[in-house]
Chain A
Amino acid sequence: EVQLVESGGGLVQPGGSLRLSCAASGFTFSNYWIHWVRQAPGKGLVWVSRINSDGSSTSYADSVKGRFTISRDNAKNTLYLQMNSLRAEDTAVYYCARSFATVTLDSWGQGTLVTVSS
């Protein structure tokens, strides 16, 4: 069974940093692109970032470019999202999602909540 489990969320002050993790199991992690998608409380889904299967290529939404860094450790079957210079508008549940054919998000984690507040 495909499983994606996010962790690392919590309360952080504006300007602070946080690193999210996404632990994968039940499939060959190194064969898949993985994405981060976020959802602010009561709002819609917003694409954040993606990384290709070997970690050599990344893309970001304009709203997080230069502040967030996506990475992966295929030996540990784990995806990361380093979030710096956090703002109140980054408050959201962050989901990791596996994609096939690079752009179809077929499996999602349960999400981890990040709250940016003083």
Chain B
Amino acid sequence: QSALTQFASVSGSPGQSITISCTGTSSDVGSYNLVSWFQQHPGKAPKLMIYEGSKRPSGVSNRFSGSKSGNTASLTISGLQAEDEADYYCCSYAGSSTLVFGGGTKLTVL
């Protein structure tokens, strides 16, 4: 049950695109198309942004997209906006009805 690996921070200017990566193993990310991405603003509960790798819940902007290649999942945010500044966490199914999260990436909008 080792945490998925995310870079600690990423930054971008308004209007730019950024990609946040999430690296797991063949026991979690690589084995299942069940990666979710969450956005968390300070002092708030996490919010689901992407599920099952690339699906967007109702109400989530189409500026958010997800993908996967091998053991690495990615979240891309296009047309960066100030309100996108937050912490982002990936989460993968890890078998036996367990989940594993990434360590989180802090997005700064310059």
Contacts and interface: CB of A to CB of B under 8 A. Distances in A.
Contact of B99 (A35, A52, A95, A106): A35
A102 interface: yes
A110 B51 CA distance: 21
A35 to B, nearest CB: 7
Interface string B34-58: 1010101000011110011000010
Given A95-B45, A105-B36, A105-B48, A45 B89 contact: yes
A84 to B, nearest CB: 20
Contact of A45 (B1, B38, B52): B38
Interface string A40-83: 00001111001010000101011100000000000000000000
A104 B48 contact: yes
Interface residues of B, number: 26
A104 B46 contact: no
Contacts of A44: 3, 87, 89, 101-104
Interface of A: 35, 37, 44-47, 50, 52, 57, 59, 61-63, 95, 97, 101-106, 108-111
15 contacts: A37-B101, A44-B3, A45-B101, A45-B104, A47-B91, A47-B99, A52-B97, A59-B96, A59-B98, A95-B46, A104-B34, A106-B48, A106-B51, A108-B46, A108-B47
Closest 9 CB pairs of A and B: A44-B104, A108-B45, A47-B99, A104-B51, A59-B97, A45-B101, A103-B93, A44-B103, A45-B89
Interface of B: 1, 3, 34, 36, 38, 40, 45-48, 51-52, 57, 87, 89, 91, 93, 96-104
